């Protein structure tokens, strides 16, 4: 048997209810290339972020960045809002390092949708930090 001490556990926010629709400042904490759940032969970029505004500090937001031509605008909008430098190839492809997103802050406009009977947040828009 092991004894475990969880720092800050007594004050931790419990629950996974969706945040109210609106604009939130987030800091990206994890970004990795993973197989798509719907088609493991294709890849996507999984992003996790912490909400950093006082009222919702510690809440988490997750999203995926497509790496297909059809979804290139979504990925480009996120990279630009986060201030991540990317390259453009001769064929027009975007090239970036997922590690460059980690630690970056940006604003996201969140919506709420119902999935399998539960409300969840979706990112509607990626925005540079509000001044």
Domains of the chain: 20-127 (2.40.50)
Predicted confidence (pLDDT) per residue in 60-119, tens digit: 999 999 988 888 999 999 999 999 999 999 988 899 999 999 999 999 999 999 999 999
Predicted confidence (pLDDT) per residue in 28-48, tens digit: 999 999 998 888 888 899 999
Cβ atoms of residues 65 and 97 within 8 Å? no
The half-sphere exposure of 52 on its side-chain side, counting CA atoms within 13 A, is 14
**Cα 23 to Cα 48: distance, rounded to the nearest angstrom:** 17
pTM of the complete model: 0.84
């Amino acid at each position: 048997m092991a004894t475990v001490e969880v720092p800050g556990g007594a004050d931790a926010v419990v629950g996974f209810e969706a945040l109210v629709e609106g604009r939130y400042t987030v800091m990206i904490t994890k970004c990795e290339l993973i197989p798509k759940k719907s088609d493991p032969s294709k890849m996507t970029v999984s992003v996790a972020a912490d909400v950093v505004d006082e009222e919702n500090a510690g809440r988490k937001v997750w999203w995926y960045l497509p790496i297909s031509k059809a979804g290139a605008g979504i990925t480009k909008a996120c990279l630009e809002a986060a201030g991540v430098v990317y390259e453009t190839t001769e064929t027009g492809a975007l090239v970036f390092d997922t590690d460059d997103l980690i630690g970056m802050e940006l604003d996201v406009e969140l919506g709420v949708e119902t999935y399998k009977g539960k409300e969840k947040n979706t990112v509607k828009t990626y925005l540079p930090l509000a001044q």
